[in-house]
Structure 1
Amino acid sequence: MLKEERQAYIIKQINVHNKVLSSDLSVQLAVSEDTVRRDLNELAESGKILKVYGGALSKSFHYPFQQNDVYAKDSKKIIVHKTMNLIKSGMVLLAGGGTTMIEWARSVPDNIECTVFTVSPLVGLELTERAGVEVILIGGQLSKNSHINTGALTINLLADIKVDLCIMGTNGLSYEGGVTESDWEVVQVKKAMIKSSQKTAVISIGEKLGSVQKMKICGLNAISYLITDLDRSDPILAPYKNEVQVI
């Protein structure tokens, strides 16, 4: 594979999953980690990605308030619109982090009155602009990569609440592998979020379907809703319908 092809693949993976690990890219591309690191350095120097220890982040994920740089923004707006149909005044919600969740927070209408717990300071800041939303931030150690609070404090605080609905994104999602992530601390927080919720909605752009990360959060039967930008009749979604309500 030519360098240009490798780097195009890397950018695609970073945009879809928000972050990538050098070790994973090395396996996927069948090249050495040194080659991957050189590619990441070149892409970072050209301003296309942000290099971090062990991998790289997308610029839209790292700078979420620069709305023009959000990857697949139209697809994420479709997801946000579908998710809003689950929200009713008086509900108590739990919100995860990520660019799609930030788009969701920006779109919550002012006439909805609800309480939202969140592990994401960025989502919390957006929700404070909504007149009818009471925002409660779940504290903890702020992850530099995922931009959510993690660690024992976060998990202990989550254990003390019970919400109507949890809404969260994911780094990997497949019929066989379920909901997966590449960060162990994030996995533990998301497991705690699911336990704290009567129902859970996982939101994902269609491009992530079929992808599997190294660490499992849960199987599909542990979540209530799968919300994507795809039409519900899309054949890609057919196997998922046996395990979860697809929206």
Structure 2
Amino acid sequence: MLKKERHDFVMRQINLHNRVLTSDLVHLLNVSEDTIRRDLQEMSDDNLLYKVHGGALSKSYHSSFDDSTVYAKDAKITIAKKTIPLIKDGMVILTGGGTTIIELVKQLPENLMATFFTISPLVAVELAKYRKIEVILIGGMFSKNSQITYGGHVISQLSEINADLCLLGTSAIHPIDGLTDTDWEINQLKKTMLSSSRKSAILCISEKLNISLRIKVASLENISYLITELEPEDLQLENYRVKGLRIL
């Protein structure tokens, strides 16, 4: 595979998942770890991504958050607006991180009165702009790859919450395999968040449909809402119609 083809593939993965791991790229591209490291360094030097230990992050995933670098921004805004009616005054809401969740927070009603627990410092910063929202950032070890807190202490805190609604992005969703990811620690967080909430909504651009990764998070039957930028009747969503899952 030519260098340009590798770089294009890496950017595709970055755009879809906001992050890539060196180990995954080695496997997917069937090249050496040194080759991937050189590719990521070159792409970092070209200001295409942020190189971190063990992989790379999207430019839009960095703490200096820049709206202009958000991939599929219009689709994520559409998803955010479709999610807003699920959020009511007085709710306790649990959120993950990621650019789709941040776009959602930016669309919240100005006078919303609710309590948000989050494992994402970036989401917490956006939530703090709302005068009537109580923001609780769950602390622990910080993942440079995923930009969220993680670890046993975080899982312990999450397990004590009884949230009305859990809002999560996803790296991949598949009609048979359900929600999947590549990071064991992050998967444990997501499983705990889902089990700590009465209802759950997965916010997902349609490009992540029909993708299955290595580690399972949850079956479709364990999700309350699937929210994409597509119309609910779109044929791409036909295989996702399972008992208990509402498509918005």
TM (normalized to structure 1)? 0.94
- Residues 232, 247 of structure 2: 8 Å contact kept: yes
Q: How does 1:82-121 map to 2 (within 5 A)?
A: 82-121=82-121
Match of 1:187? 187
1:211-232 Cα offsets, whole Å, 9 max, x none, are: 2222211111111111111121
Match of 1:45? 45
Which deviates further from its counterpart, 135-144 or 34-43? 34-43
Match of 2:247? 246
Structure 1 residues not aligned, in runs of 5+: none
Offset of 1:85 from its aligned partner? 1.4
**Structure 2 counterpart SS, 1:85:** helix
- Residues 64, 99 of structure 1: 8 Å contact kept: no
1:106-164 Cα offsets, whole Å, 9 max, x none, are: 22111221111111121111111112211122222121211111111111111111011
**Structure 1 counterpart SS, 2:216:** strand
- Residues 221, 242 of structure 2: 8 Å contact kept: no
Q: Distance in 1 between matches of 2:64 and 2:83?
A: 20
Q: Distance in 2 between matches of 1:64 and 1:225?
A: 31
Match of 1:72? 72
Q: How does 1:1-247 map to 2 (within 5 A)?
A: 1-63=1-63, 65-243=65-243, 244-247=245-248
| Aligned sequence identity (%) | 49
Q: Distance in 1 between matches of 2:47 and 2:200?
A: 36
The structure 1 segments of at least 4 consecutive aligned residues displaced by more than 6 Å after TM superposition are: none
Which deviates further from its counterpart, 51-60 or 147-156? 51-60
Offset of 1:64 from its aligned partner? 5.6
Q: Distance in 2 between matches of 1:43 and 1:59?
A: 11
TM (normalized to structure 2)? 0.94
Q: Distance in 2 between matches of 1:63 and 1:157?
A: 24
- Residues 162, 197 of structure 2: 8 Å contact kept: yes
Q: Distance in 2 between matches of 1:205 and 1:87?
A: 20
- Whichever residue aligns with residue 246 of structure 2, its letter is Q
Offset of 1:34 from its aligned partner? 3.4
Structure 2 residues not aligned, in runs of 5+: none
Matched residue pairs, number? 247
Which deviates further from its counterpart, 158-167 or 27-36? 27-36
